[in-house]
Structure 1
């Protein structure tokens, strides 16, 4: 199990804004979308996790080093807020996973080479049987 680092509340900022897209009478007057901003400098993350998080986030990290997550899937502000925080935690969990070790090159064994060549010869034989032989006249 991967241990997710604890983020101090001071590093997280939330702004509420009006969600775009179609909606009823509610859409033009209720600020239900959430923009969660995590200041990576104040987050206190280890260097390795921080580097993986920045790579994982891609364009969601601003030039000032702030990770921005926007959530507007739901109609209620509270559900969007929860959704944004869950997405942040999922991103942190993925960044906290250590990368897999690099693949070590191996060489095929003699037996596996022979099996491969036998399989090719067998397949070629099957195809050769499919060819139409000329009929004697």
Structure 2
């Protein structure tokens, strides 16, 4: 594995370094978000509960379910379908999570909406609650892509690595300079 020099990164600000590291690790949302937005999204996700996204944000409809169940599935509209326009949902979610929510498997690109269906239960109310729980899960899943915070030990390790790289670089430059000086004194140039 080739060694990568840290020198060009040292001249950057902490925010720029963090974004470069996030890009290197492949965090899609970090490419479009600043470090402050990522931290705000982390705090928002810590406080997130199932009722944080208002139920009025989407349209809930019921239809007949399919599959086994006998006469119940043929007579009762128990299947719940929740359709939430992306624009309405993204107003309630931090911007660092937007790209991950847009790439969710529940997003219908043609209608530009999140569509969630549930027919697990025989009751409409249970299926409606299941839809909202799945919407909550979509937001939580989007938040899992956010990179974690750097621990103090990791920050110290990076600082030591940078210091060691700088010392190695200075030592190499001095060695190279002394080699050139020895040539000058001999006249071998």
Normalising by the residue count of structure 2, what TM-score does the alignment of the two structures yield?
Answer: 0.47
Residue 107 of structure 1 corresponds to: none
Task: Report deviation, 1:98.
Answer: 5.0
The superposition leaves residues 34-83 of structure 1 with CA deviations (integer Å, 9 ceiling, x where unpaired) of 0011111012033321211122x22x212231000000011111111111
- What residue is the counterpart of 2:96 in the other structure? 48
Structure 1 residue runs of 5 or longer lacking an equivalent are 102-137
Deviates more, 1:20-29 or 1:32-41: 20-29
Show the counterpart of 1:120.
Answer: none
Provide the secondary structure at the position in 2 that maps to 1:74. Answer: coil
Match of 2:125 in 1: 78
- Counterpart of 1:13 in structure 2 is 59
Given the alignment, which residue of 25, 42, 64 partners 2:111?
64
8 Å contact kept, 1:3–1:93: no
Alpha-carbon distance in 2 for matches of 1:82, 1:9: 10
Normalising by structure 1, report the TM-score: 0.63
- The structure that is helix-richer by fraction is 2
Moved over 6 A (4+): none
Aligned partner of 2:46 in structure 1 is 2
Aligned length in residues: 99
RMSD between superposed Cα atoms in Å: 2.1
Q: Structure 2: which 5+ runs fail to align?
A: 1-44, 149-189
Hey, what's the Cα distance between the residues in 1 that align with 2:48 and 2:144? 9
